[in-house]
Amino acid sequence: MSFQPVVPIGGLAGWSFLNSTLNTQKQAFESGPRITRDTEYFEQKINQVSSAQELVADRRLLRVALGAFGLQDDLDNRFLIRKILEGGTENTDALANKLSDSRYKDLTEAFGFADQAKPNTQTPGFGTQITASYKTRAFEVAVGDQDQSLRLAMNAERELVKIATDSTLDSEDTLWLRIMGNPPLREVLETTLGLPKTFAQLDIDKQLEVFQDRAASQLNISSLTDLSDADLRDTLIERFLLRDQLAATSSLSSTSIALTLLQSSPPIV
């Protein structure tokens, strides 16, 4: 039986417990039979793959590849994944560049089937690099099976560090657009900054402006590179968990009131 993460409570208390036991729990999870089988198979076979067609033809390899980028729900969408990978990212009209979810672009760039003479699957160490990401995200998925908010917090902590320290991104707007194009990360920022569900319906330039203004006024973030500071990331994640918990409590209270009213209403005859 595979190890399941222990998450006895949610919110800030759950976040504190998870962080204090993270190394032990992750090690136990990653040594489980399913993760071990998946990662060993990937590391042994991936250097034999030289095309997107070959990757999607092997379901076991594809499961790890997609899981490493948080796209495990697309495992059955093999035709779409092949088209994305074969289109590369260098052409502005490439499918990976047209999709609003930036994780497809990250996946395409990582494997490099289209834009270079030799794909990255032939590069030494590529397999272990992908399986390391797969293990991390698989653990987060397992945490999310018990508490989705804690999964989002873990994802945000990891992704915000990558974005804040990515020297290849050439502008502040590009950094924000990367967040806006990453659904789990975007959800954390929207909740943290108190943005409504309808916010995504605004023009993209207006969304960008609001994100930047609220981050500056509420979190004192003048640039997303500020998030390389661990204390600032902690503040952001704590704010997310508090707002999320408050919203859940309010929703529960409203439901309880509605049930009470229904139960106290006279029967219809």
Question: Which pLDDT score, from 0 to 100, does residue 256 have?
Answer: 57
Question: Which pLDDT score, from 0 to 100, does residue 167 have?
Answer: 75
Question: Which pLDDT score, from 0 to 100, does residue 31 have?
Answer: 94
Domain 1-146 listed as CATH 3.40.50.300: no
Question: Which pLDDT score, from 0 to 100, does residue 193 have?
Answer: 95
Residue 187 corresponds to which tokens in the numbers above?
A: 């959800």
What is the pLDDT tens value at each position of the chain, 269 positions in all?
A: 678 999 999 999 999 999 999 999 999 999 999 999 999 999 999 999 999 999 999 999 999 999 999 999 999 999 999 999 999 999 999 999 999 999 999 999 999 999 888 999 999 999 999 999 999 999 999 999 999 999 999 999 999 998 888 877 678 898 899 899 999 999 999 999 999 889 989 999 999 999 999 999 999 999 999 999 999 999 999 999 999 988 877 655 555 544 454 454 444 43
Q: Where in the chain is the domain with CATH 1.10.3700.10?
A: 1-146
